[in-house]
Structure 1
Amino acid sequence: MGSTVLLTFEVIAEALRGRIRSGGLMLGDALPTQAVLMAEFGASSLSVQKAMALLKRDGYAISRPGKGAFVARLDADADAGYAEAGNAPSGGTAARVEVLELALTEALEQLTGLRARVEALEAGGSGPSH
């Protein structure tokens, strides 16, 4: 029942985790901007936002308002010592809610697009032919 196909936001998140684990991105380094990740992966802004939310949820990234996102830890087994230094990643429930909100937004956008196509078909127009 397990699928090995990753969604775009999962691919982006895993690629960034890999860079962190390999040392390409070090603790405290700025993560690539949304625009850079959109261009690199050919992804939508929503996919990049969802990837960043995953990284934050998993403790790999932390946001600093007005500054961007930064590497918060180097691997999944990292010490919880960041909390003592006042750099605890915003994780847990808040990050999960953020991921769910982004997923809901994406679903609503897809529904809006489908509704427009159905209305066009009902009005006698023909959608794009493939």
Structure 2
Amino acid sequence: MPLTFEVIAETLREQIRSGGLKPGEALPTQAALMREFGASSLTVQKAMVMLKQEGWAVSRPGKGAFVAHHDDADDGEAPGSPDGESAPVGATAARVEALEQALADAVEELAGLRTRVAALEAGGGKQGR
């Protein structure tokens, strides 16, 4: 049985394959996907990272995630197609962008955690010791 993030990713892939979501079009927001699938933000983020790594989506900082363009796909196959073929060469840039975005998100999350730890240490330094 597939995990929730896999179900979310496959649902979005199918919407892209069927033309319900077109290249350049915004993907549903994290909040919308959380509501639709009853999923946590981490689960939705995992699905989005998977789609970006596979070349189905790209991030635009401050704007969200969008359906990737696949101009280099001469054989008409979409990335991650069930025949076992990998994403087209043109999707490499999308995968790199997805990995860069995931790294930037992780750095941002770490910075937030460091801030919270520093605040806890400053505010309640002797509690729990």
Deviation at 1:22, TM superposition (A): 0.4
- Residue of structure 2 in register with 1:25 after alignment: 21
TM-score (norm: length of structure 2): 0.61
- Whichever residue aligns with residue 61 of structure 1, its letter is A
The equivalences for 1:1-130 within 5 A come to: 5-73=1-69, 75-76=78-79, 79-81=88-90, 88-89=93-94, 91=95, 95=99, 98=102
Alignment check: 8 A CA contact 2:26 2:67 kept? yes
- Give the paired residue count: 93
2 CA distance for matches of 1:81 and 1:56? 13
- What is the RMSD of the two structures over their aligned residues, measured on CA atoms? 3.1
Secondary structure, aligned partner of 1:14: helix
Residues of 1 paired with 2:69 and 2:13: CA distance? 10
Deviation at 1:43, TM superposition (A): 0.4
Shift of 1:73: 3.9
Q: CA deviation at 1:50?
A: 0.1
Question: 1:57-98 CA deviation, whole Å, 9 max, x = no partner?
Answer: 000000000000000046216754467xxxx31x15x73xx5
3-state SS of paired residue (2:52): helix
- Residue aligning to 2:117: none
Residue in structure 2 matched with residue 123 of structure 1 by the alignment:
none
Gaps of 5+ in 1: 103-130
Sequence identity (%): 62
**Which consecutive unaligned segments of at least 5 residues does structure 2 have?**
71-77, 82-86, 107-129
